């Protein structure tokens, strides 16, 4: 495994990103900073604040992937607005948001002022932007503001929400300074982010790992293996996630003693003092004071998905070493809709764009409640919530719609989760009433759909893709390579087999040898065989056999009380298969 081959795969997967896109992002940041500076100047004149000797009243700093220089075609623009003390948080999330809406390049603005980290989300040209805000207790901003922001003393008497926003900037600089080789770190992080996004495990709001968590894990791997190349670092990171004792947190650096900030001490991650911190499953601590868990949204079911994807990636890396696969097989996009037979569709609609943005952001933040309910019900053996938003093919009138999908694998053939879906739908409609622009046109619909219905629900380019490049784990052989009817009687070929269930039909209900035909539907085949043979069924992601035992008949057959020969053929019901 060479670094050159990994870089080639990154560029091949990230074909939509080009140097011009990077310059466009920088230009977008400059224009937003100009809007921010003009707004502060107008606010300064209205309040007749103290006269300033410097023309700079406010500053805007890039954060996240832009500051780390690991951008790709799907990266958001994260930035931090810093203002002096005469600018309040209420004014920023109200008046400044209105100024953003007036810009011709801004298509949508959503204010989330009560979030854990308050943010303004907007779409500037083709870029998604997240704008944070910090109000400093200073009348004027110093010339070397960036150096001042990196000191702990600047956080004296700052509200906790401002501290969280400020740490988005401080964390990026501290992470870069903590790794031994920044080039290897950046290459590894770019590959890790592409892999996590393609596998649907890159989303903090959905309970997976967000950008800051993947960055800290990559930096920790670089610290543990300072001379390793990016391909080896990728493999070491996967092993770190799987084998780490998660009773201990991931920490990049030792905390330096500094002037105590009494009002922030309670927010420091400490499972001894805080009972809520003891419940965290994957503590990945930020390097800045106060240390906090960047992966606090991880839940048992999302942790299962993350660990499974890591194990699958390690299997592909072993094939890359032996020459059986390439890096594109690992980093390339996988069609989510080919991995499941059943899905939960969550469709959110509203009358106007602003109403839809507010309602869809609320629904997106509440998805973990539905997943928690599905996990607690015990009716699903596996499920994976796709973080991506999809656009429905059929829109109702002029309504704005988005939908999400959760791939599910039920424990039993006959799925019944209607009560969980109805409860989530009612709870969300009730929670939406707190929105300022709530009305009866905001609708949420939850239902179960199958794989064959997906292409008819989504617009072109969003549904299942035929001939999609799949990883070896999900490779489906062509029809000519599929096994014959008699071979499939002893083994049902599936991509991810689970527990094998064996049923032997050697005798009939009264103990006499019997030869009869047993119809078995498996995939696209309709097999008829001698019932005297042992038939092996594998319960996989596509459940071809819907076992539905009838207790009364089974009991009578087992006790030898049934007098109808061949009655055992009706013990199981199989789904009807259309004629080929």
Q: Which tens digits make up the pLDDT trace of 399-433?
A: 788 889 999 988 887 778 888 999 998 889 888 88
Distance CA 103, CA 234 (A): 42
193 is in an annotated binding site: yes
265 annotated to bind ligand: no
Measured from the Cβ of residue 469, the count of other Cβ atoms closer than 10 Å reads 12
Q: Answer left, alpha or beta for residue 352, where phi above 0 means left and psi between -120 and 50 means alpha.
A: beta
**pLDDT class of 192 with cuts at 50, 70, 90:** very high
pLDDT tens digits, residue range 477-522? Answer: 333 333 433 343 333 333 333 333 333 333 333 344 333 333 333 3
Instruction: Give the chain's largest Cα–Cα span.
Output: 103
Between the two ends of the chain, the Cα-to-Cα distance in Å is 46
Q: What is the pLDDT of residue 20?
A: 66
- Most confident option among 42-56, 322-336, 448-462, 523-537: 322-336
In this structure, the dihedral spanned by the alpha carbons of residues 518, 519, 522 and 524, taken in order and rounded to 10 degrees, is 150
CA–CA separation, 409 vs 234, rounded Å? 30
What is the per-residue pLDDT for 519?
Answer: 31
Buried b (16+ CB within 10 A) or exposed e, 270-289: eeeeeeebeebebbbbbbbb
Please state the pTM of the whole predicted model. 0.75
Is 77 marked within a binding site?
yes
Pick the more confident residue, 555 or 390: 390
pLDDT in tens, 24-52: 777 888 889 899 988 998 888 887 755 55
Sign of the alpha-carbon dihedral angle for 409, 410, 415, 421: negative
High-pLDDT (> 90) share of the chain, %: 21
pLDDT tier at 159, thresholds 50, 70, 90:
confident
- Written as six digits, the tokens of 464 are 């299942």
Looking at residue 51, what DSSP letter applies?
-
Q: What is the mean pLDDT of residues 333-353?
A: 87
Q: At 107, is the pLDDT very low, low, confident or very high (cuts 50, 70, 90)? A: confident
What pLDDT score does 217 carry? 95
Q: Domains, the chain, ranges and CATH?
A: 1-174 (3.30.460.10), 179-333 (1.10.1410.10), 336-457 (3.30.70.590)
**What is the residue-averaged pLDDT of the chain?**
76
Q: In this model, does residue 108 exceed pLDDT 50?
A: yes
Q: Are 401 and 421 contacting, i.e. CB atoms less than 8 angstroms apart?
A: no
78 is in an annotated binding site: yes
Render pLDDT for 429-462 as a digit per residue (tens, 0 to 9).
Answer: 888 888 888 888 888 888 888 888 787 777 655 5
The answer to whether 97 touches 120, Cβ cutoff 8 Å, is: yes
Which pLDDT score is estimated for 235?
Answer: 93
Q: How confident is residue 208, by pLDDT bands cut at 50, 70 and 90?
A: very high
Provide the strand spans (E) within 273-416.
Answer: 342-350, 380-385, 400-410
| Residue 523 pLDDT exceeds 80 | no
Q: Which two tokens stand for residue 565?
A: 């020969």
Confidence at residue 548, expressed as pLDDT on a 0 to 100 scale:
37
130 is in an annotated binding site: yes
Q: Does 381 count as an annotated binding residue?
A: no
Would the pLDDT of 80 be above 60?
yes
pLDDT digits (tens, 9 = 90+) for 350-380: 888 888 888 888 888 888 889 888 888 888 8
320 contacts 332 by C-beta, under 8 angstroms: no
Helix-helix angle 211-224:230-243, to 10 degrees: 110
């Amino acid at each position: 495994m060479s670094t050159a081959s990994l870089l080639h795969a990154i560029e091949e997967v990230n074909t939509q990103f080009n140097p011009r896109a990077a310059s466009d992002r920088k230009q977008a940041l400059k224009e937003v900073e100009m809007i921010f500076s003009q707004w502060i100047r107008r606010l300064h004149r209205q309040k007749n604040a103290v006269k300033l000797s410097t023309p700079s009243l406010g500053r805007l700093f890039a954060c996240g992937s832009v500051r780390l220089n690991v951008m790709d075609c799907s990266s958001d623009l994260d930035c931090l607005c810093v203002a002096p003390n005469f600018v309040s948080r209420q004014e920023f999330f109200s008046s400044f948001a209105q100024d953003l809406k007036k810009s011709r390049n801004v298509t949508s603005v959503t204010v989330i002022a009560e979030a854990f980290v308050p943010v303004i989300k907007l779409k500037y040209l083709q870029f998604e932007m997240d704008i944070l805000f910090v109000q400093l207790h200073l009348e004027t901003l110093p010339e070397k503001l960036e150096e001042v922001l990196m000191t702990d003393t600047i956080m004296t008497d700052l509200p906790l929400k401002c501290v969280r926003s400020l740490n988005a900037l401080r964390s990026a600089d501290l992470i870069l300074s903590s790794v031994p080789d920044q080039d290897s770190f950046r290459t590894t992080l770019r590959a890790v982010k592409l892999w996590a996004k393609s596998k649907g495990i890159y989303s903090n709001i959905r309970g997976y790992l967000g950008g800051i968590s993947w960055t800290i894990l990559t930096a920790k791997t670089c610290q543990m293996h300072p001379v390793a190349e990016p391909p080896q670092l990728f493999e070491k990171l996967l092993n770190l996630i799987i084998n780490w004792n998660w009773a201990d947190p991931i920490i990049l650096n030792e905390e330096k003693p500094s002037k105590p900030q009494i009002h922030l001490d309670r927010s420091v991650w400490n499972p001894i003092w805080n009972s809520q911190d003891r419940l965290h499953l994957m503590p990945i601590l930020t390097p800045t004071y106060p240390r906090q868990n960047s992966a606090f949204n991880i839940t048992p079911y999302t942790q299962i998905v993350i660990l499974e994807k890591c194990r699958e990636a390690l299997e592909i890396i072993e094939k890359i070493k032996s020459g059986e696969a390439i890096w594109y097989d690992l980093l390339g996009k996988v069609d989510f809709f080919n991995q499941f037979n059943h899905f939960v569709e969550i469709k959110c609609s509203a009358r106007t764009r602003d109403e839809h943005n507010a309602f869809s952001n609320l629904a997106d933040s509440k998805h973990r409640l539905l997943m928690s309910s599905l996990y607690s019900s015990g009716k699903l053996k596996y499920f994976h919530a796709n973080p991506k938003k999809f656009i429905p093919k059929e829109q109702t009138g002029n309504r704005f719609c988005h939908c999400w999908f959760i791939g599910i694998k039920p424990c039993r053939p006959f799925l019944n989760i209607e009560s969980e879906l109805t409860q989530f739908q009612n709870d969300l409609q009730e929670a939406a009433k707190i929105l300022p622009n709530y009305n009866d046109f905001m609708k949420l619909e939850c239902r179960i759909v199958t794989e064959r219905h997906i292409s008819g629900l989504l617009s072109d380019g969003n549904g299942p893709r035929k001939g999609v490049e799949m990883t070896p784990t999900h490779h489906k052989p062509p029809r000519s390579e599929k096994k014959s009817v008699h071979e499939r009687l002893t083994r049902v070929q599936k991509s991810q087999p689970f527990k094998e269930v064996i049923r032997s039909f050697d005798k009939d209900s009264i103990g006499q040898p019997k030869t009869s035909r047993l119809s078995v539907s498996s995939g696209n085949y309709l097999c008829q065989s001698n019932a005297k043979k042992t038939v092996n069924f594998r319960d996989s992601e596509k459940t071809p056999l819907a076992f539905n035992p009838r207790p009364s008949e089974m009991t009578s057959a087992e006790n030898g009380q049934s007098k109808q020969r061949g009655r055992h053929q009706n013990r199981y019901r199989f789904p009807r298969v259309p004629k080929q």
